[in-house]
Amino acid sequence: MEATPKEQPKVQPKAPPEFFVSIGPHMRTEESTAKIMWTVNAALLPATLMSVYFFGLPAILVIIVSILAAVMAEAGMQKLLKKDVTVSDGSAFLTGLLIAMNVPANIPLYIPAVASVVAIAITKHLFGGLGYNVFNPALIGRAFILVSFAKPMTTYTQPVANIMAMDAKTMATPLSLLKEDGIAKLLEVYPNIYQDLLMGNRAGSLGETATIALLLGAVFLMIKRYITWHIPITFIATVGLLTWVFGGKSGLMTGDPLFHMMSGGLILGAFFMATDYVTGPSIRIAQVLFGVSCGALTVLIRLKGGYPEGVMFAILLMNCFAPLLDRGMRSRVFGKAAAKGVKK
Amino acid sequence: MEASSVKASATFSGGVHPAGNKELTSHKSTVSAAIPKRVVIPLSQHIGAPTKPLVVIGQEVKKGEKIGESGGFVSAPVHSSVSGKVTAIGNFPHILGMDMASIVIESDGKDEWVAGLKETKDYQMLSPDELKKMVSDAGIVGMGGATFPTHVKLSPPKEKPIDVVILNGAECEPYLTSDHRLMLEKPAEIIEGLKILMRILNVKKGYIGIEANKPDAVEAMKKAATGSPEIEVWPVQVKYPQGAEKMLIKAIANRTVPAGGLPMDIGVVVQNVGTAAAIYDAVRFGRPLIERYVTVTGRGVKDPKNFLARIGTTFAQLIEEAGGLTEDAAKVISGGPMMGMSQYTLEVPVIKGTSGILVLPKSEVSTKPYGPCIRCARCIDACPMMLQPSLIGLFIEKGHYEDAKDYNLMDCFECGSCTFVCPANRPMVQWVKRAKRELAKKKN
C-alpha cells in the first residue's frame, strides 16, 4: 500500500466510506522548507534596512535587481529543466538577497544580476537544484563577479545616510586599509573604529557593515533553532583567537580580535552563509570542525593572502569538505558499541 | 514527589515532541463496550506462527474457549471472546491491510464462560514453570502493540540471565490513553502481574516507567506499590518515542540494548502494563486474553471514549459507540498517529495489540507533496537510534538499498520521528519499510 511519490497519501477507491490510507506517521511538524527560507530572509531584514539607511537609493536598486535576477533565473531554469517552479519557497529570493548584501552599493547593476544568474542557474540548478548543490550559490556568484569585475567589486563608498544621494565619495574598507596602509592610516580614516563597525558606519558591502543588525537577525534564528551555535560561533571564535595570536605587528598575542571579528563579511558569512544547510555538514561534531576550519582559512587569507578579506573563499573551500566531514564523523549509532562483545 | 508536578529527568537522546492530544479521553473512565453480535477473531494476532483453528463452522463455543491452537513456540493460542456459534472460517479484513484467516462467531447474547476456568488464590506458591504455562495458555502477547508472544520473552536462554523487569506505562504515542486509564483503574492488578513476571524470571527488581504527563497514574501506581520495596515507579520525560523498549531501558536502567540485539542480551525484560494486568487475570482467575482497553479518539469521532472491548469487535461498532464518525472524518488509524496503521475499512477487528482507534478529520490529514532534502539535520537530531535518516532516505529514494544498509538502515525501528520533523515532508519511514522489504527479497 505504498503511496506513489508526489501524491502521498492516496485515496483507496474501494471502500465506502472512503478513507485516506498512508504509511505513518500521521502527524507532521508545522515547519516547512518555505517557512525556514522566508524566516531567514526575515532575519536579514534589520541588516537590509541598515544598508538602505547608510547607502541610500543605490542600495535599494542593488537589492531589487539581485533578488529579481535570482528569482527569474530560478523560474527560467526550472521551466527549462521541466521541473515544478518553486520560487515561492523563498530560497532563490534568499540567494538574491545574500548577493545584494555582498556587493558595494554603487556597483553597476548588471554585475549583481550576473552574480545572481551564475548562482542560481549554474551553482544551484546545474548541480540538481535545491538540496543538491555543492557550493553556496550566493558565494559562487560573488566569487565569479569578484574575479570578473575586480575594479567595481572593490570600489567601496562612504556611507552617506541620505536616501536620495546617488553618488558618494569612494572610501576604503577598514580591512583593506589595515592590509595596505597599516593601523595608523586605519585610525586616521576611522577614528571611532569599534563604534563604526558595530553600527555599520563604514565602507563595505551592503549587508556586511552593520554588525549589530546582523547579530539581531542571528540571535532570532538561533532562538527559533533554525541555526545552531556549532558553525557560526566556532567560526567567529577561531577568527578572534587566531587574529589575536598572529594578527599583531609587534609579535604574538598582540592582535586585535574585536576588530577582526567585526570587520569584513565575517558576521554575515558566519551566521547566514556558512550555516546554509545544504552546503555544510549535518553531523554536529562535523559542524564544529567546519566552523573552526572556516575561521582558520579566513585568518590565513586575511593575514597572508592576496585579498584583504577571506570569509568567502574560506566558506567555499570548506563547502567541498562538508560531505567528507559528515562521512568521517558519522554519528554513533545507538547500541553499535554495545553490540561488539555480545554473543549471538 | 508531588502528583501535580511530577519531574522526570530519565530519558534517552533524540526524540520529538508531537502534540499529545490526550485530553480528549484521559479524564474519561473506561466503559465496557456492548457485547458484539458478531466477532471476527484473526488466527494471527501476534508475531510468529499463526494459530490452527480448533473449531468448525456451526460449532457452539463459550466465552474463553480456545478456538485456535498455538502454531509453534513463537505463537499464541486465541480464544473466543463471546459465547455463541461459529458462522465462518475464512479470510477477513485485518488491520495489517489485507484479508487474513479469521474465525467469525455470532454471539448468543448469554455471554457464558467456558467451564473449568481455574481460580488460584495462592498463585505466589506456584512454580515459575507453572506460571509461565498459564501465561502461555492464556494466549497473552505484548499488548503495547508489538504483540510478541509473552511466554517467549519469559523464556530467556540460560546464558542470558535476567535481573530487571520493566513495565512500560510510558504511552508516548499521542492521543492514546488506554494504558493511562488502566493504571488509574487497575493499579493493583498491574502490580500483581509484575510480581508474577518477577517470580517467573526470578528477578528481584521491578520498575514501572510512566511518562511524566500522567502524574495521577504515577501516584496511583506508587500507592499500589506501597509495601512492595522491590518495585519502583519511575516518571520518565515526556518525549516520543520514550515508550520504545530500547529507549525506556536506557532511561530507567541506563543500559544500552546492542544493535541487532534484544533486551534480554543486557538482562532486561520489558512488558506493557496491559500485559501485566492480563497476566494477573490469567493466573488468578484462569481467564484467557479476550478483552482489552481500547481508546477510541480523535476529532473524527463525535464522542471520544476509553472502552473495555472484546477481541474481535469491529472498529465500526466501537466508533458507533463513540458517537460515530464526524462529517469530515478522513483517516482511521489502528494505534497511535506516529506508528499506527491507517485502515481502508471499518470492518477490521480489535486484536490483542490494538491500543486505540484514532480517527482524524480531513483538516488534520497531511496531503502535502514532499520536496527535496535540504539537509537541515532535524531528523538526525530527532533519531533515537542516532542514525542519519536524511542520508538513508536519499539513498533509498534513488534505489541504493545497499548503501542505506551501510548507513545502518536495519537499526531503524520505524518510530517516525524523522518523518514527523521533516520540513520537506519526506516519507522516510515509508522508504525504510520499502528498503527493508527489497533487501529481504534479494536475500531470498
Q: In chain A, whose CA is at the least distance from the CA of B13?
A: A334
Q: Are B329 and A35 a contacting pair at CB < 8 A?
A: no
pLDDT tens per residue across span A257-301: 999 999 999 999 999 999 999 999 999 999 999 999 999 999 999
Number of domains observed in the structure of chain A: 1
In the prediction, which pLDDT does A1 show?
Answer: 42
Q: Which residues contact B288 (CB under 8 A, 6 or more apart)?
A: B64, B66, B77, B79, B137, B138, B139, B282
How many CB atoms within 10 Å of residue B296?
A: 27
Nearest to B372 among A27, A129, A341 (CB): A129
Q: Is the peptide bond before B156 cis (omega within 30 degrees of 0)?
A: no
Average confidence (pLDDT) over A227-239:
97
Is A20–B257 a contact, with Cβ atoms under 8 angstroms apart?
no
- Residue A211: pLDDT band (50, 70, 90) is very high
Decide if B288 contacts B312 (C-beta within 8 A): no
pLDDT at B6: 65
Q: Is the pLDDT of residue A118 over 60?
A: yes
B364 neighbourhood in chain A, CB within 8 Å:
27
DSSP state of B352: T
Q: Is residue A39 in some structural domain? A: yes
At residue A163 the predicted structure's pLDDT band, cuts being 50, 70 and 90, is: low
CA distances from B66 to B34, B46, B275, B288 (A): 22, 16, 19, 9
Q: Is residue A20 part of a domain?
A: no
Q: Is the predicted pLDDT of residue A2 greater than 60, yes or no?
A: no
B376 touches chain A (CB under 8 A): yes
pLDDT range class, residue B340, cuts 50, 70, 90: very high
User: Which of A338, A330, A344 lies closest to B259, judged by CA?
Assistant: A338
Gap from B284 CA to chain A (nearest CA, Å): 37
CB A238 within 8 A of CB A232: no
- In angstroms, the Cα distances linking B313 to B65, B82, B151, B359 are 17, 10, 25, 17
> Residue A164 has what pLDDT?
67
Indicate the DSSP class of residue B57. Answer: T
- B38 backbone φψ class: left, alpha, beta (φ>0; ψ -120 to 50): beta
- pLDDT given for residue B225 in this prediction: 97
Chain B 328-347, CB below 8 Å of chain A: which residues?
A: 329-333, 337-345
Is residue A5's pLDDT more than 60? no
Nearest neighbour of A278 by CB, restricted to B375, B380, B423: B375
Give B268's strand partners. Answer: B164
Select the residue from B366, B408, B412 to test the A interface by mutation, using most A Cβ atoms within 10 A.
Answer: B366
pLDDT for res A331:
67
Give residue B108's identity as a one-letter amino acid code.
Answer: D
DSSP string, B210-254: EETT-HHHHHHHHHHTTT-TTEEEEEE---BTTTSHHHHHHHHH-
What are B367's three cell numbers? 496531503
CA dist B100 → A269, B55, B270, B311, B317 (Å):
59, 17, 29, 15, 20
DSSP lists the bridge partners of residue A152 as: none
Judged against a pLDDT cut of 60, whether residue B1 lies above it is answered with no
Number of residues that make up chain B: 444
Residues of B in contact with A12 (CB under 8 A): 344
Q: What is the pLDDT of residue A11?
A: 52
pTM of the model: 0.92
| Per-residue cell: A130 | 535545491
- The edge-to-edge listing of strands for the beta sheet with B341-343 is B31-32, B305-310, B291-297, B356-361, B329-334, B341-343
DSSP per-residue letters across A296-332:
HHHHHHHHHSSSS--HHHHHHHHHHHHHHHHHHT---
Residue A44 lies in a domain: yes
Question: Measured on CA atoms in the order B37, B276, B413, B175, is the torsion positive or negative?
Answer: positive
Q: Does some domain include residue A5?
A: no
Q: Specify the pLDDT at position A181.
A: 86
ipTM of model: 0.90
For the stretch B180-217, pLDDT in tens is 999 999 999 999 999 999 999 999 999 999 999 999 99
Question: Residue A332: inside a domain, yes or no?
Answer: no
Nearest of B131, B1, B45 to residue B352 by alpha carbon: B45
Q: For B145-171, write each residue's pLDDT tens digit.
A: 889 999 999 999 999 999 999 999 999
Nearest to B407 by CA among B381, B375, B372, B380: B380
CA distance linking residue A268 with residue A47, whole number of Å: 9
Over 80: is that where the pLDDT of B93 sits?
A: yes
Q: What pLDDT digit, counting tens, does each position of A7-56 carry? A: 455 554 444 678 999 998 999 999 999 999 999 999 999 999 999 999 99
Residue A57 lies in a domain: yes
User: Above 80 in pLDDT, residue A340?
Assistant: no
Q: Report d(CA B6, CA A327) in Å as an integer.
A: 41
* Number of other CB atoms surrounding residue A323 within 10 Å: 16
CA B217/CA A11 separation, integer angstroms: 39
Residues 6+ positions from A248 with CB-CB distance below 8 Å? A254, A255, A256
- Give the three-state DSSP class for B85: strand
B interface test, pick of A229, A334, A344 with most B CB neighbours within 10 Å: A334
Tens digit of each residue's pLDDT (9 = 90 or more) over B277-296:
999 999 999 999 999 999 99
DSSP E strands, B23-118: 31-32, 38-42, 52-53, 60-61, 66-69, 78-79, 84-93, 99-107
Strand B305-310, strand B291-297: pairing: antiparallel
Q: Is A195 exposed, middle or buried (0-12, 13-18, 19+ CB in 10 A)?
A: exposed
Nearest CA in chain B to A10: B367
Q: In terms of Cα–Cα distance, which of B400, B399, B392, B398 is closest to B432?
A: B392
- pLDDT, one tens digit per residue, over B263-277 is 999 999 999 999 999
**The C-alpha cell that represents B361 in the structure block:** 478529520
Q: Which chain B residues in 116-175 lie under 8 Å from chain A, judged by CB atoms?
A: 159, 174
Instruction: Give the residue on A whose Cα is nearest the Cα of B256.
Output: A335
Distance (Å, whole) CA A162 – CA A155: 19
Distance CA B261, CA A81 (A): 47
Q: What is the mean pLDDT of chain B?
A: 95
Measure the CA–CA gap between B75 and B159, rounded to whole angstroms: 23
Whole-Å CA distances, A341 to A344, B119, B198, B405: 9, 45, 27, 22
Answer with the residue of higher pLDDT: A1 or A175.
Answer: A175
The amino acid sitting at B71 is G
- Burial of residue A184 (CB within 10 Å: 0-12, 13-18, 19+) is exposed
Q: Select the residue of A1, A27, A282 nearest B18 (Cβ to Cβ).
A: A27
Fold for the domain defined by B3-28+118-285: Rossmann fold (3.40.50)
**Domain locations in chain B?**
3-28+118-285, 31-109+325-364, 378-443
Q: Which domain holds residue A270?
A: 33-327
Q: Which residues of chain B are within 8 Å of residue A330 when distances are taken between CB atoms?
A: 388, 407
Q: Which three cell numbers stand for residue B245?
A: 523498549
Residue A337 CB neighbours (<10 A) = 12
Residue B244 has pLDDT above 50, yes or no: yes
Q: Can you tell me whether residue B273 is helix, strand or coil? A: helix
State yes or no: pLDDT of A336 exceeds 90.
Answer: no
User: Between helices A33-43 and A211-223, what is the axis angle to 10°?
Assistant: 150
Residues A301-325: tens digit of each pLDDT: 999 998 889 999 999 999 999 999 9
Q: Is the pLDDT of residue B7 over 80?
A: no
DSSP three-state, residue B31: strand
Give the chain A residue nearest B12 (alpha carbons). Answer: A334
Contact B96, B115 (CB under 8 A): no
Q: What percent of chain A has pLDDT over 70?
A: 92
